[in-house]
Structure 1
């Protein structure tokens, strides 16, 4: 049978074998050169090249030093001759110089590469060839490692651009030139973006947009988004002084992390009377959210939640929102804005908490046990949520781990007592001990009162290789057939 399989494989034409090998890294594909004379150079003819100097796979062909890695890449490219390159993925760290890498990239560009992915040492900041940004064949470009300085960009076929540590030498004008120089760009991701005072992102072509700025302690003067066809949006930055345009008519999913500066955060946390300037600044959080209020799936960081806590403007209504994830892993941030947020999500079906840690205040309404009785609201009892997930349960943030666990359990029990529409609760316990899951399940089975008898409870752990699932049916517990 084994010999028969070998005969079948050896009988395949070279182009089909190359297609099979293209699913492997180039180092892995090189192993086949040991099979026979026919396979000796076949690996070098695949259209997709994946060179990884950072990998520890297959010690049989691992490069003993950077020189052997350079020799290996040079040899493969030489064997290819003038054959078309569809994709080049290059990962290399310190020790690989620009005079080595430059010819490899130029070779791929010369042979019509459409997909170029670079993960290289930040020390190579000055070597990136400008011809990368004027290619007529590139459809997808991803660069990680060096700080990318964008000047003239002319990429007529580019549809996906993903860059790390970006600098626009002309600021807002340079950003506008990037968009105009990529007339068919559909996906744009800019991480560690060296921002400027004002920015306007305007495109009717973009469908996915990611802008992540470092934690600079400065507010932007003005940020606008006129991107009516974007369906996915990820945004991380300090709150801007003004959002003149926020247009996301087609938005489906968004991940938002907007934060105050350190001075603003200290002022609103510690002062009983916040000055008007900071109040207006924080108010821009709701101005921004108004522009994305037709989103269906939303993630809010704890920084964003804190912005809403100190905002005196009404939280917008999210009529289309069905899935909401809240990062609640910071014990310094309260839940004051949660009651109004939940009330303004009339069609919410799934609610996910990443942690249950928060600052105790008297303005949490009935989403927590720490509310004042005179300010108790009905945000939980009227909440339409059917599926509730608690992530990072049991994850300690200080020395009082046992106390924190007890508080978390009380919050979960409170949810079960209040949420009348709940159909399933999933608790993802951060533990590697199976008995911990048993203990939590047992405590929840002992609840004397629940708001929804049709709710099923599942306790799981990602830290167990074969994580058991403890499923509790409250309808069975109370002897009801639902």
Structure 2
């Protein structure tokens, strides 16, 4: 312990920051020199549940953010639990955040039913911002020149323009995650010239009102993850071929509405979405979304996915009509020697390099015909992955695969 005590204060504070707040405070009994070091930590995780009552929590926070402190606050995690919900005077929270801003805070994680001071959204040093269960009012001015990562979870937005203003005021924002709440029924716009990764999640089946949807305009996106069972429309503009898509999208249609009539009512919205993502290079699509696309393909032709290099679709082969450009009937249990397709999608000829059949093959003829279709027509295919069901015979399947002619001589077939 003597050797540690001989270290400079800033080094000891970094060591203490690796401990929980309770453990860091307990070190004050080690020596008189350590008595106040926990108040100089560069990183602080301050949670009401770690204190016996609110007054103790507030007292520690006031001492930590006392104006006499001159050190920087690198990271602050501030979580206000149930104890803080009944507090009439929330000014202490505002003063703490303002003090952190003055001390050049870079990482802020805030949880609690609280109206954040808009001074926070003019912080010149903030690099990462995570907010949960807070209320955002409209602001006159928002400037976050260094913010690269933002996570917004169950936020209450005073208007549709609140989120749009916040995002567009972050000139170097690269990573954005949004979890929308049940009460969010407006049209959300995400416009960014710097955004590279965007995840949006709205997976609540019980909603207060129908949602008109989301509009994304972010030309530098490399990764887009959509999990949205509520929005009736979802528009993606200016998407480049380098983007990796992960899609769970219902267009407001649930299982009972997947008949032609239901999909027809969303035909315009589905068309707009498919055109917007048609330049994507990699796609993973959930079962429900793929079924909607299959139904849509019975109404209108699909766009050609000319840049697609990797595809993962987790469903039965008989539902892959949208790739075939021609309807397959209920063939899963029928014996047949060949499936005829009216055309070969451009992506198979020019760009598709990886195909992952994310379902188990059970030895039905139509399944092998679908595998043959990809092997025979995918000119640049590098790898095709298959999974065998319990009733499949591995040796027989491998023998049949070896006999299939391949358009790509370098294609590897991986049987799991």
TM-score (normalised: structure 2): 0.71
> Alpha carbons of 1:250 and 1:19: their partners in 2 closer, same or farther (altered >3 Å)?
farther
Residue equivalent to 1:259: 250
Which residue does the alignment assign to 2:10? 15
Of stretches 153-162 and 305-314 in structure 1, the one that deviates more from structure 2 is: 153-162
Question: What is the match of residue 95 of structure 2?
Answer: 103
**2:302 equivalent among 310, 315, 318:** 315
Over 3 Å counting, the alpha-carbon distance change for 1:226 and 1:17 in structure 2 is same
Distance 1:227 1:32, change over 3 A: same
* Cα distance change on mapping 1:29 and 1:338 into 2, 3 Å: farther
Secondary structure at 1:449 match in 2: helix
Shift of 1:200: 4.4
**Which residues in structure 2 correspond to 1:234-313 (within 5 Å)?**
234-237=225-228, 238=230, 240=232, 243=235, 246-249=237-240, 251-261=242-252, 266-269=256-259, 274=261, 279=264, 281-311=266-296, 312-313=299-300
In structure 2, which of residues 397, 400, 403 is the aligned counterpart of residue 449 of structure 1? 397
Structure-2 residue corresponding to 1:161: 150
Bigger relative contact order, structure 1 or 2, given CA contacts below 8 A and separation 6+? 2
Query: Alignment partner for residue 227 of structure 1, among 218, 243, 248?
Result: 218
Correspondence 1:190 to 2:178? yes
Give yes or no for the alignment of 1:140 onto 2:128. Answer: yes
Gaps of 5+ in 1: 1-5, 55-61, 329-333, 345-360, 391-407, 428-439, 459-482
Structure 1 length normalisation: TM-score?
Answer: 0.63
Structure 1 range deviating more: 229-238 or 31-40: 31-40
TM-aligned CA deviation for residue 37 of structure 1: 3.9
8 Å contact 1:363–1:375 — kept in the other structure? no
> Once the two structures are superposed, what CA deviation does each residue of 1:402-444 show, in whole Å capped at 9, x if it has no partner?
xxxxxx67379986796466666578xxxxxxxxxxxx88x66
Q: Assess, with a 3 A threshold, how the Cα gap between structure 1 residues 68 and 337 changes in structure 2: closer, same or farther.
A: same
How do 1:8-157 and structure 2 match up within 5 A? 9-53=4-48, 63-78=51-66, 81-96=69-84, 97=87, 98-99=90-91, 101-120=93-112, 124-125=113-114, 127-157=115-145
Check whether the contact 1:27–1:51 (CA below 8 A) recurs between aligned residues.
no
SS in 2 for 1:448: helix
> Matched residues in 2 for 1:33 and 1:7: separation?
14
| Residues 9/234 of structure 1: CA separation in 2 closer, same or farther (3 Å cut) | same
Contact 2:244/2:281 (<8 A) preserved: yes
**Equivalent residue of 2:278, what SS?**
coil
Tell me the SS of whatever aligns to 1:15.
Answer: helix
Q: CA deviation at 1:230?
A: 1.8
Distance in 2 separating the partners of 1:151 and 1:374: 66
Pairing partner for 2:197 from 205, 208, 217: 208
Separation in 2, partners of 1:254, 1:168: 27
- 1:88 CA drift (Å): 0.7
- Shift of residue 92, structure 1, vs aligned partner: 3.3
1:413 and 1:444 in contact (8 A); partners too: no
**Number of residue equivalences:** 376
Shift in alpha-carbon separation, 1:99–1:202, aligned structure 2, 3 A: closer
* Distance (whole Å) between structure 2 residues aligned to residue 84 and residue 240 of structure 1: 46
For residues 335 and 48 of structure 2, the distance between their equivalents in structure 1, rounded to whole angstroms, comes to 59
Give structure 2 stretches of 5+ with no counterpart.
376-382, 403-411
2:82 alignment partner, SS class = coil
Cα deviation for residue 228 of structure 1 reads: 1.0
Q: 1:340 aligns with which of 306, 315, 322?
A: 322
CA contact (8 A) 1:309 1:335 kept: no
Post-superposition shift, 1:117? 0.7
> 1:279: Cα distance to partner?
1.8
Cα shift readout 1:31-56 (whole Å, capped 9, x = no counterpart): 544544443433332211122345xx
> Which residue of 410, 420, 424 maps to 2:362?
410
Deviation at 1:143, TM superposition (A): 0.7
Q: Distance in 2 between matches of 1:23 and 1:377?
A: 63
Aligned-partner Cα distance in 1 for 2:222–2:330: 32
Aligned with 1:233: secondary structure? strand
In 1, Cα distance between equivalents of 2:110 and 2:250: 31
Query: Cα–Cα, structure 1 residues 414 and 180, in superposed 2: closer, same or farther, change >3 Å?
Result: closer
Q: CA deviation at 1:186?
A: 3.1
Equivalents in 2 of 1:327, 1:76: separation in Å?
52
Q: Deviations over 1:270-291 (max 9, x none)?
A: xxx628xx52623532431332
